[in-house]
Amino acid sequence: MNLPLYLARGVAKGGTKSVSRTIIGIAVAAVAISMATMVLASALIAGFKSEISTKIFGFWGHIHITADAASYGIFDTYNYPISNRQDFYPSLDTTGRVSLQGFGASLGLEAGAPQMTRAGIRHIQQFIVLPGVVSVYPEGERLPTQEALVLKGIAEDYDWDNFGRYLVEGEALRVSPDSTSRGIIISSITATRLEIGLGDRMDFAFIGPRGEERARAFQVTGIYKTGLEEFDRQFALVDLKQPRSLLNWEEDQIGGFEVILDDIADLEIFNDYIHYQVLPQDLYGESIRRKVSELFNWLDIQDYNWAIILALMITVAIINMMTALLILILERTNMIGTLKSLGLSNWGIRKIFLYYAGFIIISGLALGNGIGLLLCWVQKTFGLVHLDEESYYLSVAPIQIDWSTLLALNVGTFLLTLFFLVVPSYLVTRIDPVKALRFK
């Protein structure tokens, strides 16, 4: 029989003085509040990163395939057309799981174990990006309202499942290989600034390499809103044949391909796989995470905020538990003297209080998990906490619970807090059994 554990259960069930009951209650509350805060913070940060990433990938896909010379940025692609008659198009979307060996293996070096993707490639689609100026003639005005706008040309292979969720008015752009659509989908920001809506006309002008102006008239058929102001302020969707015509490209020429994956966790592996094993030498593959690295670097900073919150909350739990343990030991001085006189070792007595502290920590963790998960459910269901969309790209604080992270938080908090309680439990060794029993 584990005597320290048996005695710890007895102590936990037994009565305590009002002061120690208050201290234990405070300790449980401190652990519970710390745990609830960590659960809520981890769910908010995970949800925030997931939602922003989903919006970016929904707009641009996961991997871009462009001309090698256009590898400096998205806006370079209209200067470097490529042909859509490629061996990998459109069959690339049939690619399932792949295994990628480290590059050192081909050089006879130690390359480590091959990397295996979780899933495959879901879709590949064409695009053209073309910057220019749009003009709108407000009712009763003789002079047009003008501003810069970037046309993103899409073809009939466009995946509306990714982007369609952001349409707030109108309908998806109908693109077919046999006709050219005059429709344009603009953002709600553009619509507000230009004071236009569905059915209104927009004139787009592109300045060619020789200074000549090439223009097209479009009709607004849809309005979208992703919440990503950098994209919403700049881009509009049109039939890919429109920017191709403005650029005087051949029928098979495009700006590049967007590749959409089944699992975002496979991004880096598939990026290397496509670039090094699929593409010809004159094409370049790069993940959108690298192309818009500023946004993703900003998202990565949130991990530091989470680490700070984690450290502060665990510190609060540890300090309160150390205080509670010291009071429990002092309250049970007579019991400690009796156990010592009966021959129980110092370590055996210390384990009694460590077990007792463990019961308190578990109670606090259980309560904290309940509170934290309840708050997460309330926010996810009712969306009570709102954000400034211009600053955070989201109107409602998102929630995403990662159960493996939640389990790690509970186990880590329990073990770390209990580890730090070993030091105050050393007070047991300083108690003299003779003096303890004398004042019983």
pLDDT in tens, 428-438: 766 766 555 55
In a domain, 43, yes or no: yes
- Residues 432, 301 within the same domain: yes
* pLDDT score for 107: 46
* pLDDT score for 109: 46
Q: H or E segment at 137?
A: none
Contacts 24+ apart (CB under 8 A), 295-303: 295/52, 295/56, 295/228, 295/230, 296/53, 296/56, 299/48, 299/49, 299/52, 299/53, 302/45, 302/48, 302/49, 303/45
* pLDDT score for 12: 66
In a domain, 97, yes or no: no
- Residues 432, 349 within the same domain: yes
- Residues 302, 396 within the same domain: yes
Interatomic CA distance for residues 256 and 291, integer angstroms = 14
* C-alpha 39 chain-centroid distance: 15
Count of domains observed in the chain: 2
Interatomic CA distance for residues 118 and 102, integer angstroms = 17
Interatomic CA distance for residues 379 and 196, integer angstroms = 35
* pLDDT score for 297: 85
In a domain, 287, yes or no: no
In a domain, 430, yes or no: yes
* pLDDT score for 82: 94
- Residues 314, 196 within the same domain: no
Interatomic CA distance for residues 401 and 375, integer angstroms = 12
- Residues 314, 222 within the same domain: no
CATH at 204: 2.40.70
Is residue 368 within 8 A of residue 35, CB to CB? The reply is yes
In a domain, 277, yes or no: no
In a domain, 341, yes or no: yes
Residue 390 domain boundaries:
3-54+296-438
pLDDT-flagged residues of the chain (< 70): 1, 11-20, 69-73, 102-112, 140-141, 429-430, 432-440
pLDDT in tens, 360-394: 999 999 999 999 999 999 999 998 999 888 788 88
Q: What is the DSSP letter of 384?
A: -
